[in-house]
A and B are shown apart, each in its own frame.
Chain A
Amino acid sequence: MSLTHLNARGEAHMVDVGDKAESRREARASGAIRMRPETLALLADGELPKGDVLATARIAGIQAAKRTHELIPLCHSLALSKVSVDFELDEASASVRVSATCRLNGRTGVEMEALTAVSVACLTLYDMCKAVDKAMEIGEIRLETKTGGKSGDYAREGEVAEAPIVTGEGEAGEVSLGARCAAGEPCILVKCLAELRERLGVGEVSLPFNALERADVGGLKAALKASDPRFAGLDEGRVLCAVNQVMAGNATPLTAEDEVAFFPPVTGG
């Protein structure tokens, strides 16, 4: 492992990123500022003399992320596509937790930008509150997660990077919730999982039980295809089926309120 900002002679230099491939980079950093409980209460109630503390600190953090290259000597100037700064007031520890997320499509990582956003948001919180509390303490500023780029993904121990983990929580924009049954109407809940969910663009739908000409899985497939052309994809490739979480086939009978899941062959282990 070597330090990329030092050349062979140990001198500081800016890394040439011209030949690196562009990829989607995202980094999230966090930090905290501890204060007296009374100060936190004033902050929460918006009663500090300088006005809306959190809104000001948020703008400060976003502005700082954009100017990171002016502050850190060997950082490149980046056209960030997204910067967000969020605050969480924690009464138990009398602190404000600050987190910042930066993103871009480019050739260098954005962790310095996220760390800078958190640092400056914390400094701004200090500035906004110092009239009532000079003992505030800024700490725990750190990188939480980083994705994209040659060095690969990073997540702090105990952190779980955002990812679709559980069925039905597909990535935004890829999943639509289809029509629901009217209240009280007997229906069948249909789930599409994993690759099938992304391929069809359907996560969960419910279908009136009466829409089925035959009360079995084959009948359900026909009714789904009649209701939405995307379900034609159920016939492409090997698609498995479970009724009430037990493996099933086209002839498996259905009754109202059954849960039917369609999914591709399993690939665990």
Chain B
Amino acid sequence: MSRVRVQQQAFDAGEEQRRLIEARTDIGAVVGFTGLVRDFNERPEVQALSLEHYPGMTEAALEAIVDEAESRWPLQGVRVIHRIGRLAPGDPIVLVVVASAHRRAAFEACDFIMDYLKTRAPFWKKEHTASGDYWVAERQTDHRDAERWEVSS
């Protein structure tokens, strides 16, 4: 099972976690993060979201982020799934599951992967709202979140 997947279909977070840890007894902690489509963002009444990506580079960028996480923390398994295409409010959009022997590494690596994904993986969101469609702008808070990991390495 590849560590990174980019797909249109929905995913089952429970199933992904189960498959990541099945038949393993060396894992002491699993942390999972699921991102969902909100019905409000820069404008209210978001009716749908279209996610575009750059095929090829997307997968490579996600693999590089997972490699970086594995070099920083002792991890027993990682799964990253990001959806593309048209999504509705409430739909799951991204999944990161990290397994490690200890909880601190799993928490931190999961947090790190999401911060880097949001600032480095080539995905773009277009929101469809009651008042029209628009491309989502980047957020400075996301960059500050990602910069937290750039110290003392």
- Please give the residue numbers on chain A whose beta carbons come within 8 Å of chain B beta carbons, in ascending order: 21, 23, 147, 152-153, 155, 160-167, 193-195, 198, 238, 242, 245-246, 261, 263-269
**Residue contact A165 to B51, C-beta cutoff 8 Å:** yes
- Please report the C-alpha to C-alpha distance between residue A258 and residue B112 in the assembled complex, in whole angstroms: 32
**Residue contact B125 to A267, C-beta cutoff 8 Å:** yes
Task: Give residues of chain B (103-149) contacting chain A, Cβ–Cβ below 8 Å.
Answer: 114, 117-126, 128, 130, 135-138, 142
B contact residues, total (Cβ < 8 Å)? 38
Task: Give residues of chain B (28-57) contacting chain A, Cβ–Cβ below 8 Å.
Answer: 35, 47-48, 50-57
B77 to chain A, nearest CB (A): 21
* B122 contacts across to A, CB distance below 8 A: 193, 242, 263, 266, 268
Residue from B56, B82, B135 in contact with A245 in the complex, judged by beta carbons closer than 8 Å: B56
- Please report the C-alpha to C-alpha distance between residue A238 and residue B94 in the assembled complex, in whole angstroms: 25
**Residue contact A245 to B124, C-beta cutoff 8 Å:** no
For this complex, 29 residue pairs linking A to B, each with C-beta atoms less than 8 Å apart, are: A21-B130, A152-B48, A153-B47, A160-B86, A161-B48, A164-B126, A165-B51, A165-B52, A166-B53, A166-B84, A193-B54, A193-B122, A193-B124, A195-B124, A195-B126, A242-B57, A242-B122, A261-B54, A261-B57, A263-B54, A265-B138, A267-B118, A267-B135, A267-B138, A268-B121, A268-B125, A269-B94, A269-B114, A269-B123
* A265 contacts across to B, CB distance below 8 A: 137-138
Give 10 closest A-B pairs by Cβ, nearest first: A268-B123, A194-B124, A245-B57, A265-B138, A195-B135, A163-B86, A269-B118, A267-B136, A163-B50, A165-B85
* A162 contacts across to B, CB distance below 8 A: 86
A26 to chain B, nearest CB (A): 12
- Please report the C-alpha to C-alpha distance between residue A154 and residue B129 in the assembled complex, in whole angstroms: 14
